[in-house]
Amino acid sequence: MSALDLVVIGSGVSGLSAAVRAASAHRLRVGVITKGQLHQTTTRWAQGGVAAVLGGTDDPDSTDLHLADTLSAGAGLCDLDAVRVLVDEGPVRVSDLIAMGAIFDRDHEGDYLKAREGGHSEARILHARGDATGAEIERALVVAVHDTAASLVEHAFADSLLMENGRCVGVRYQDTDGTMHEMEAANVLLAAGGAGQLYSVTTNPVEATGDGIAMALAAGAALGDVEFVQFHPTALHHEAMPRPLLSEALRGHGALLRDTNRERFVEELEPRDVVSRAMMRTMIEQEVDHLWLDATELEDFAVRFPTIHRSLELVGLNATTDLLPIAPAAHYTCGGVITDLRGATTLPGLWAAGEVACSGVHGANRLASNSLLEGMVFGPRAVDAIAAGGDGPEATGAMRTVLTPDDARVAGRRLDPPSAPQWGSVDTDPAELRRRVQSAMTRGAGVLRDAASLAETGQVLDDLAGRVPAMDSDPAWLEIRNLITLGRAVVAAAANRKESRGAHTRDDFPGSSDDWMLRQVMASA
Ligand code: SIN
């Protein structure tokens, strides 16, 4: 008998909302392990908010419109059923969070304030403390999980999944002393976030090294959509890392994008992939490394966007008088571990939710402010399925591309994972190795790619693997191994997809092709 019913790996919105629901609604014995402190997650950095249609009289918005915007941003690769679940269940999960103590911003009449962001046809983004939505959600969830979970382990580096006869039965992790531990559970929920650290310039914290995706791949789980890495167009061009984000909500409030001649060059509220691409092309053409965000006309900037105001002050900028230097930064891993509509992966006992997962809701490009929503919807769904006795994947959602790959709702094509990297033994500085991985990925597998750049990146990653000690279990080296493993997967999937779609832009295949209206499934035969 396992001591725990569920162990959750990761403490962002998907992990903690799952853990709280498992313990409070289903009385499951839950353990949470996380790499840093509980609150130290990508969720905490999310500014813009949560896209959810709460309804109400005179509201022109509807879940159908939210669904249509999500599908359109996803450029043909979203799973319709998964998006339907997202937009329909989202408002209920927002209410759960409010009941848990999360406070969203309201106007003087008590109605929720709603912002607009790129790709949204209506203003439907709820926010908290102006531009600190993720921090507020994380705050409420951390309080709730302390009250409910049976076991919380911080500073635990998850090393591998425990597998028994093809079933996931727990996780192996090391503590800060380097001592290895095993946490066994009847079910494991991966909620370990994405891999923005694959790139030199990212809005993600240093912890975002794709450990969950790499661990699942090593255990034999199928991955999907890994070629789609979303770049946020408006990260502050500054040496701080992670790059301070200048929320898309600024453009929703009327901020403009300007080139070196102070001219506008793209419609500001296009989806992120469109804006990032236009920025990269403009930067190349004008031979500059950044462009400008003009927020000088926005009223009450410091009140509405206090977090951004403070981060600008720190670098001596004032949004009401200065143009703000910006450049795209790696922001979101659209693909990940393939799941069905309940969060089940291809491995019995292993579930996944949030950025680590490929649930089918984002397709080739995530719609702004759908990520917190995905976490709070699909984390609890996995828990409800576990409590109902669910086990193993069903042919629903993105999982159809594995179990019924010819299903017209989004067909799947199998792609072998890259062969295992040849780790070496050269004892180089891990920080330097990480920089080199990031630099190779940024040069050759970033916003713009082509066959030659991808081939070169793959070669550099292979060479760098040879400098990484195979056996060293220091977390700094484990992270590099995860980054290289995932980087090679991104490069292989991007090289194979001979078209441009969503966040994947091939200079040598600039158009989209109907032949590629499918999800690439990376799985061992
Ligand atoms: C933003 O505020 O621009 C980021 C929100 C998101 O990534 O969805």
* Partners of 256 in beta bridges: 294
451-465 and 430-444 helices, crossing angle to 10°: 170
Domains of the chain: 4-227+332-411 (3.50.50.60), 233-329 (3.90.700.10), 415-522 (1.20.58.100)
Banded model confidence at residue 297, pLDDT cuts 50, 70, 90: very high
pLDDT digits (tens, 9 = 90+) for 149-172: 889 999 999 999 999 999 999 999
Q: Which two tokens stand for residue 174?
A: 């090391």
**Catalytic positions, please?**
272
* pLDDT at residue 525 greater than cutoff 90: no
Ligand 1 atom nearest 51 alpha carbon: 8
Please, which residues have CB within 8 angstroms of residue 278's CB and are 6 or more apart in sequence?
A: 265, 266, 270
Can you give the pLDDT at residue 1?
Answer: 44
374 lines ligand 1 (CB under 6 A): no
194 lines ligand 1 (CB under 6 A): no
Q: Which two tokens stand for residue 302?
A: 């410091």
- Cα(76)–Cα(410) distance, integer angstroms: 8
DSSP 8-class letter at 316 = T
Higher-confidence position of 241 and 230: 230
pLDDT digits (tens, 9 = 90+) for 30-53: 999 999 999 888 898 888 899 999
Please, which residues have CB within 8 angstroms of residue 477's CB and are 6 or more apart in sequence?
A: 430, 468, 469
pLDDT mean over 407-428 = 90
Place of tokens 């106007």: 107
- Cα(34)–Cα(151) distance, integer angstroms: 11
In angstroms, the Cα distances linking 143 to 96, 221, 327 are: 14, 32, 36
Cβ atoms of residues 125 and 301 within 8 Å: no
With the most atoms of ligand 1 within 8 angstroms of its CB, the residue from 369, 370, 373 to mutate is 369
Place of tokens 């039965």: 169
DSSP 8-class letter at 469 = B
With the most atoms of ligand 1 within 8 angstroms of its CB, the residue from 120, 248, 305, 372 to mutate is 248
- Cα(249)–Cα(269) distance, integer angstroms: 10
> What separation in Å is there between the alpha carbon of 451 and the centre of ligand 1?
30
pTM, whole model, 2 decimals?
0.96
* Partners of 51 in beta bridges: 125
Ligand 1 atom nearest 47 alpha carbon: 2
Torsion sign, CA atoms 128, 129, 133, 138: negative
Residue 321 burial by Cβ neighbours in a 10 Å radius (0-12, 13-18, 19+): exposed
